[in-house]
Amino acid sequence: MRIRIVQRDHIAGGKAALIRVIAIVLSFLVAAILLGVMGYNPWQAFGSLFKSAFGSMSNIRSTIITAIPLIIISLGVAIAFHMGYVNVGGEGQLLAGAVVATFISHNLPTSLPKIIMLLAMAAGSLLGGMLIAVIPAYFKAKFGVNETLFTLMLNYVMQYYVLMLRTQTWKDPKAMGFPKIAAVPNNAILPKVFGIHIGWIIAIILVVLVSMLLRRTKIGYEIRVVGASVNTARYAGMDVNRVILIGICMSGAIAGLTGMVKLSGTTYNLSESIGGGSGFTAVIIAWLAKLSPVGILIVGFLFGALTQGAVGMELALGIPAALAESIQGLILFGTLGCEFFVNYRLVREYPSKATKEAA
């Protein structure tokens, strides 16, 4: 007997949901065993995780604030993935957007009306993210350069560039020698609605716009065709290089806008860690959501809850940060791993009688 892995042609929605539920339950079970071995009560830990994410209105607000940048940047990544372009440079594009937004906030008058300042910063962040994203896209279109490595390397270029700004070029002289960049002025801070900065409104608007872009516009149709088959797109008369460049400009622009939202909504000053790994997490979120904008909204919110809950475990029970992150990783691994069994199945094969006789 031997076992083969066979791709499924179709799987019932109920069966797929059951596989995902079983995988998540097993992930929590393994996490509970790990917590028990380390001397912590799993029920208290998971209770603290849930309470920290949803236990009060304040906690729910924190969860939403954590989820906002994840949702926005995942929408940008999804556009690239729809056309088969592996954009893992969201972190660098986010930083580029934050850099331009910081520059604008520090150089426009503080007496400027808030709406004008924020619109200028948003426009600048869109442009910054787009410019960083279009570099690897151009080399991909013209010379066939691998976009995965190119976009990945640009993340580190941007991180070290921001580090240089923080420690040298833009170092705040009023920080008493501490290497930091001055905070944005008050008219550059996002206003709040229901106790949460308006980034959540921006995220919802972008979900609607990206959905319409991909499903109801010509360029959205071309993006999906290029992603399905480049040869088919060329046969249909599409300019594949133009589609790639336009798609990546939109992808990078949205990632850059994420930088402005984080800057004006939560951190208020620029640093190389402002992204917090959002660009890499966005790849997982977009993949789990099947590149659906509405799915990204849901999965991004759940990721925000998981991240917020992990912080709560650390604070409430004194669980080390490394262990809390390991628990988070186990749950994510189970969630990702179950997709293998959704898309593939194991088939047992027994040798035929003729094969046995020949052997």
CATH of the domain at 274: 1.10.3470
* Domain co-membership, 34 together with 75: no
pLDDT band at 313 (very low <50, low <70, confident <90, very high): confident
Say if 328 falls within a structural domain: yes
Say if 59 falls within a structural domain: no
Lowest mean pLDDT among 2-6, 36-40, 228-232: 2-6
Full domain range(s) for residue 325 = 1-40+319-359
**Beta carbons of 124 and 107 less than 8 angstroms apart:** no
Residue 11 backbone class (left: φ over 0; alpha: ψ -120 to 50; beta: rest): beta
Nearest by Cα to 265 from 77, 36, 61: 61
What is the reported pLDDT for 353? 56
What is the reported pLDDT for 356? 52
pLDDT band at 359 (very low <50, low <70, confident <90, very high): low
What is the reported pLDDT for 310? 87
Q: Which two tokens stand for residue 164?
A: 């240089």
Burial class of 90 by CB neighbour count within 10 A (0 to 12, 13 to 18, 19+): buried
Where is the domain boundary, 280, 296, 312? 312
Distance CA 290, CA 305 (A): 20
* pTM (two decimals): 0.91
* Domain co-membership, 224 together with 340: no
What is the reported pLDDT for 357? 55
Say if 51 falls within a structural domain: no
pLDDT band at 355 (very low <50, low <70, confident <90, very high): low
Say if 45 falls within a structural domain: no
Over range 137-156, report the average pLDDT. Answer: 92
Which one has a higher pLDDT value, 340 or 108? 108
Instruction: Specify the 3-state DSSP secondary structure of 346.
Output: strand
Nearest by Cα to 289 from 129, 91, 77: 77
Distance CA 62, CA 319 (A): 20
| Percentage of the residues of the chain whose pLDDT score is greater than 70 | 97
Over range 226-233, report the average pLDDT. Answer: 92
What is the reported pLDDT for 152? 95
* Domain co-membership, 103 together with 177: yes
Strand partners, 5: 346
Lowest mean pLDDT among 55-69, 119-133, 200-214, 321-335: 321-335
**Beta carbons of 247 and 82 less than 8 angstroms apart:** yes
Nearest by Cα to 70 from 247, 304, 308: 304
Say if 63 falls within a structural domain: no
* Domain co-membership, 254 together with 154: yes
What is the reported pLDDT for 354? 54
* Domain co-membership, 219 together with 341: no
Summarised one tens digit per residue, pLDDT across range 175-227 is 888 899 999 999 999 999 999 999 999 999 999 999 999 999 999 999 999 99
Number of domains in the chain: 2
* Domain co-membership, 128 together with 227: yes
pLDDT band at 91 (very low <50, low <70, confident <90, very high): very high
Distance CA 332, CA 327 (A): 9
Q: Whole-angstrom distance between the N-terminal and C-terminal Cα of the chain?
A: 14
Average pLDDT, the chain: 91
Instruction: Specify the 3-state DSSP secondary structure of 196.
Output: strand
What is the reported pLDDT for 231? 92
Which one has a higher pLDDT value, 312 or 212? 212
Say if 179 falls within a structural domain: yes
What is the DSSP code (8-state) at residue 38? T
**Beta carbons of 76 and 282 less than 8 angstroms apart:** yes
**Beta carbons of 100 and 125 less than 8 angstroms apart:** yes
Over range 152-170, report the average pLDDT. Answer: 96
Burial class of 221 by CB neighbour count within 10 A (0 to 12, 13 to 18, 19+): middle
Say if 61 falls within a structural domain: no
Over range 88-95, report the average pLDDT. Answer: 96
What is the DSSP code (8-state) at residue 112? S
Distance CA 207, CA 127 (A): 20
* Domain co-membership, 26 together with 110: no
Q: Long-range contacts made by residues 211-218, C-beta under 8 angstroms, separation at least 24? A: 211/293, 211/294, 213/79, 213/250, 214/79, 214/82, 214/293
* pLDDT of 40 strictly over 70: yes
**Beta carbons of 314 and 324 less than 8 angstroms apart:** yes
* Domain co-membership, 261 together with 348: no
Question: How many alpha carbons lie under 13 Å from residue 180 in its C-beta half-sphere?
Answer: 12
* Domain co-membership, 75 together with 105: yes
* Domain co-membership, 171 together with 214: yes
pLDDT band at 338 (very low <50, low <70, confident <90, very high): confident
Summarised one tens digit per residue, pLDDT across range 264-280 is 999 999 999 999 999 99
Lowest mean pLDDT among 4-18, 111-125, 190-204, 211-225: 4-18
What is the reported pLDDT for 352? 61
* pLDDT of 290 strictly over 80: yes
Cα–Cα–Cα angle for 55, 56, 58, nearest 5°?
Answer: 130
Lowest mean pLDDT among 45-49, 114-118, 204-208: 45-49
* Domain co-membership, 23 together with 164: no
**Beta carbons of 184 and 102 less than 8 angstroms apart:** yes
Say if 168 falls within a structural domain: yes
* Domain co-membership, 262 together with 195: yes
What is the reported pLDDT for 143? 87
